Every structure is written in structure tokens, then in C-alpha cells.
Structure 1
Amino acid sequence: MKRKFKVIIIIVSLLLVLFVGAGFFAGNYFYNLALNPNTDKSAVFNAPQNSITISPEEAKEKEETEKWFKENYEDSFIQSFDDLKLHAYSLKNTNETNKWAIVFHGYSSDGSQMSKYAKHFNDSGYNVLVPDARAHGKSEGNYIGMGWHDRLDVVSWINNVISSDKNAEIVLYGISMGGATVMMASGEDLPSNVKAIIEDCGYSSVWDEFSYQLQATFNLPAFPIMQFSSMVTKIKADYTLGEGNTVEQVAKSKTPMLFIHGSNDTFVPFEMLDEVYEAANVPKEKFIVEGAGHGGAESVAKDSYWKTINNFLAKYVE
């Protein structure tokens, strides 16, 4: 009987070791796929529900605004809370103004890809600052923060603006991961200079977004892959996937917020809009763009997109 019991213990132990080993292997694979900035992201971006196309008209506008962007920006740098050198593009308005828009890009992108948004804010009378998120563009970093550590970088950029313009009236704008970033930043103790926040198609939490992508892209369950991926993330990036909770941060916000989402978004599911909107206990508005996919609200809604934003901001920015 003793021998049989020992055999059972050995078998169970071996199975447990195999399970844990396989779990960490899978967790490390998905960490590298999702959060290592140096790995190929085509498996994610080429998935049917994640594909994004632009029209010839959009391509032409992109070319024009990129030209304007390149001709008008200056480089700006700060040191992050964990000693990374972070970069941003600074575009001063031709007219002297205390109005500032800090514009945040999406996942696996960089600040230079936000040229059309930067130009719209600039044309509306704002100085514009467009940071490269950590591990993106010209900013240092070994991992993608998904908005969590980036939220503290947002605070650093805000303070950087205020250090040169103490009367600055600041608007935060972000799209996709940038949208989640500004929402996560909203739960921090922001200076009164921050007057309003606009998020476009940000996710309700890092955990929910990755769990959704696991199922939609790879047809895999969240358990136990998310648990192991979160442990690997803690080891390599010093945060867990559960920490990046946008809903919890928005619930602590004291800043008026505008929430934007396309009804046909299948990269960050449209249903996440209600989660973040309902969590907000501040003056808030919701703008749903029918038929728009991920990041496509501006292209589909066109003038009404910017009219909605301008009308919202007119209530809070002088």
C-alpha cells in the first residue's frame, strides 16, 4: 500500500511539474507575443477580427498631415519614474496660447502616427505634445506597458508641460492603448491644469483585452494561460496583467471625460465602452460611431467627430 501511494505521489508530482512547466512556457510565449516590443505582432494584427484597412482618401490625408508634422515638430525628452528616457513630439501653435493637448498613440505604434489628430488639435488652437509610449518610437523601454506604467508617464508629461507653462490648460487624448492609458491616468492625482480627458476605443482592462484576444485570435481559454502570462509579466515587467484595470482607475477620476467607440470594433470589443463609461463618476459624455471599426471613429464620423470633441472641450477649456 505504501509503495502504491508513493507511485501515485510521484506521478502526481510529475504531472504537476509538467503542468507548471507547460504553463510558464505558454505564459512566456504570450508575454513575448504581446508585450515584447521586438517580436513580430503579425499573428495579432492579421487575425480577421483585428484587421484594419484605410481608404485612398485616408491614405492621402495621412500623407499630408505627416508632411505637416515633420515640418513643425521639435523633440522633447523627460526621465520616467524608473529612469527611462522618454520622447515626445512638441508642436507649438503659431498663436500664443495656454491650451495644450497631450495625444497618446495606440499599441505597437508611435507618436508620429498621430499626425492627423495632432493637426486637428493644433488647428483648434492648441499646443500639442505627442509622446512615444515607453518601448515605442524614440522612447526607451524593454516592455509594452499597456497603459499601466504609462499612466505615470502621462503624469510626468503633464508636469513637464506645467513646468514651462504654469497656466496651461491641458486636455488628454488617447486612442486604443492610448485611450486606455489616459483612462488609467485619470485615476491618479492629476493637477488642476488637466481640464478634460478624451478616450477613443480604449479597453476596460489589460486582463479583459488579452483574454478576449486569446479566444478570438487563438481560440484558447483564458485559464490557465492568463495566470501564467501574468506571472511572467510580473517577473519581466514588474506589473501583473490584473493591475492594469481601466475601470477601477476611471472610477477614481475627478476629470470630465468623453468616451468614443465604434459600434463595429472587434479589436477592443464595443461592449467595453459601457464598462468604462458606467464606472465614471464625473461629468461625462458618450459618442458612439455606428459602423466604425477599431480606431475608425474619426474616419467614419468625419466632421461630427471633431464637432463632438470641440463642443465637449468648450465646456471645460477657456
Structure 2
Amino acid sequence: MIIILLILLLLVVLILNAFFLYIQKRGSKALGAEAPKVKMDEGLVEKTAEFVKKDKQMWQIQSTYNGSHLHGWFTDNNDDVTVIMVHGFGVDHNSLNVHAQLFDSLGCNVLQIDNQAAGQSDGKYLGFGYIESLDLINWINKVLSVRPHDKIILFGASMGAATVMLTSGNDLPKNVKLIIEDSGYTSATDILSYHCQKRYHIKGRALIAGISLMSRVRAGFSYRKTDCRSALEKNSLPILFMHGKNDFTVPFKMRDELSTCGQFPKMSYESRGVHIRSYYVDSRKYHGAVEKFLKMYL
């Protein structure tokens, strides 16, 4: 009987480990990381191509979380405002080139980073925003070591949006002025549960709890660390919440859950766009919302 129980326990561990690797290993497509094909508004392709050609400085830091070497690309516009761009799940900094050119067009300096386990950065496992939020604090300190008087804006999309919201719960340097989140989710548990129900028609809460335990053992954190609502309750910085009503990767209702948390200055923007594609199809209104937010709170 004991041998049978040990065999069953081993099987459970092996299954949970397989799910953990499927969800959190570098290059994971567990949340459908393939970007939706959406035609950009007129002129955006050309403007983005021009931005990509601009001179960029490669910056590097070492994560204080696990020692990973991380890479970023800084576009200097000789401004006193720097926007740190945080990308989403299963992609790299290039996925936000079109958004980066928006801030570039507003005259801001732009720092595009590769998260852990993405692009040119080291790392084995994705952190659903938790590991990335700790690394983002390292990136903030890097900016201030080079440009100590800059005002800093944090911009994140999808998992990057979760990252900037989780970062907001920390005691940040006074130079960090604003946060913009595009298509962020409430927590790793919530978004994984949503995809379990959407794809496989199961709640999967027990399975997700087991994977969370495996994440704690292998990646150093449980999914409880990814609760953006708890972080927002501690936040005092102005936040712009940007979501598309036709987002089926991160459900639109999460916008309302997030934007009602905490007591801090808030603005909301919505479009008919899909996941992280509001700017593609509603660029004028999106641009206007960002510009208004900056003018109001920066």
C-alpha cells in the first residue's frame, strides 16, 4: 500500500511539473502568446518602422531576484521623462514597438526591456508579473543611476500590465510618477482559471493550486504573489487603465475589477479592440487618452 501511495505521489509530482513547464518555461504559448493579426490604422506601420531605425543604447542589469542578466534598449530624446515599456507573456520588447513609437512621438525617452526568459535576457521561467515586478524595480534604479532627475512612467501590456500594477504596491522612488496598464489581468490564478474554462471547460482550481506549489519550489514564488488587486490597494500613483471590449485573452470584466481597487487617481479608456490591439484600431482616441493622462498628472 505504501509503495502504491508513493508511486501515485510521484505521478502527481511529475504531472504538476509537466504543467508547470508548459505554463512557465521560456517561450511558453500557454496563454495563446501568438499575437492576433490586426491591421493597423493608416500611418502606424510607417511611423513604427521609423522609430525602430532610431539609434538605441543597449542597457544591461543583473536581477537581484536570481542574478539573471537582463537587456534593455534606450531611445534618448533628450527629455526629462522616461517611459519603461514592459512586454507581455511569451514575446519580447519588439512586441511593443508600435506603442513605444507613440511615447517617442510625445517626446519621451523610451526604455524597452526584455523580461526574464524572453528575448536576449537570461532566465528559465516566466513570473506572471511577480518576478518581472522585482526586476522592474532594478530597471527603475538603473534609469535613476544614469538619469537621476528623470520623471519615470511605467507602461505595461498584458503580463507587462500585471507587472506594472504589482510594482505599484512597493515603496517606489519619487521619480516614478505614472502607470499605464493595457490589457492587464487580476492574478495568475484568475487568468489561468479563465483559460481552463474557455479552452477545456473545466474550472481547474485544484490543478492551478498544484502548479502554484510547483512554481514556488522551482521558480521561487506562488501565484498568491501575483494578485494585482492587493498591490493596487497599496498604490498611490495615478493609473490609466486601457482595455478592449473584444479581448478574449484577458476578459474585459477584469478592467472593472482592477479599476475599482484602491484610492488613487484613475482614468479609464476602452475600445472595441482585441487583446493589446486597441492602439492598432483606435489610434487617435488611444493617443488622446495617453496624452490627456500625461498632461493631467505628470
TM-score (normalised: structure 1)? 0.87
The amino acid of 1:172's aligned partner reads L
**1:272 corresponds to 2:261:** no
Aligned residues: 297
Of the three residues 165, 182, 194, the one matched with 1:212 is: 194
**1:221 corresponds to 2:203:** yes
Which residues of 2 match residues 152-231 of structure 1 at below 5 A?
152-231=134-213
Give deviations 1:254-274, integer Å, cap 9, x for gaps.
111010111111101111111
Counterpart in the other structure of 2:32: 45
**1:68 corresponds to 2:55:** no
Of the three residues 270, 274, 277, the one matched with 1:296 is: 277
Q: Relative to structure 1, is the Cα distance of residues 14 and 242 closer, same or farther in structure 2, using a 3 angstrom cutoff? A: farther
Which residues of 2 match residues 76-91 of structure 1 at below 5 A?
76-81=59-64, 82-91=66-75
1:308 CA displacement? 0.4
Name stretches of at least 5 consecutive residues in structure 1 with no aligned partner. Answer: 1-9
Alpha-carbon contact 1:263-1:270 (below 8 Å) kept:
yes
Give deviations 1:31-83, integer Å, cap 9, x for gaps.
111100145x2x6428xxx872222x469844752453144222110111121
Greater C-alpha Rg: 1
- In 2, the alpha carbon distance for the partners of 1:38 and 1:76 equals 22
Counterpart in the other structure of 1:133: 115
Alpha-carbon contact 2:47-2:101 (below 8 Å) kept:
no
1:25 CA displacement? 3.3
The amino acid of 1:303's aligned partner reads R
1:104 CA displacement? 0.9
Alpha-carbon contact 2:57-2:73 (below 8 Å) kept:
yes
1:114 CA displacement? 1.4
Q: Relative to structure 1, is the Cα distance of residues 279 and 73 closer, same or farther in structure 2, using a 3 angstrom cutoff? A: same
Counterpart in the other structure of 2:235: 253
**1:316 corresponds to 2:297:** yes
The amino acid of 1:26's aligned partner reads I
Give deviations 1:118-171, integer Å, cap 9, x for gaps.
111011010100110111011110100111011111111111111122211111
The amino acid of 1:199's aligned partner reads E
Alpha-carbon contact 2:27-2:90 (below 8 Å) kept:
no
Of the three residues 12, 24, 33, the one matched with 2:22 is: 33
Q: Relative to structure 1, is the Cα distance of residues 294 and 106 closer, same or farther in structure 2, using a 3 angstrom cutoff? A: same
1:22 CA displacement? 4.4
- In 2, the alpha carbon distance for the partners of 1:267 and 1:155 equals 27
- In 2, the alpha carbon distance for the partners of 1:103 and 1:209 equals 22
- In 2, the alpha carbon distance for the partners of 1:51 and 1:104 equals 16
TM-score (normalised: structure 2)? 0.92
1:316 CA displacement? 2.1
- In 2, the alpha carbon distance for the partners of 1:73 and 1:31 equals 36
Q: CA RMSD in A?
A: 2.1
- In 1, the alpha carbon distance for the partners of 2:42 and 2:25 equals 29
Q: Relative to structure 1, is the Cα distance of residues 58 and 18 closer, same or farther in structure 2, using a 3 angstrom cutoff? A: farther
The amino acid of 1:190's aligned partner reads L
Alpha-carbon contact 2:241-2:269 (below 8 Å) kept:
yes
1:280 CA displacement? 2.8
The amino acid of 1:157's aligned partner reads W
Counterpart in the other structure of 2:226: 244
Alpha-carbon contact 1:23-1:224 (below 8 Å) kept:
no
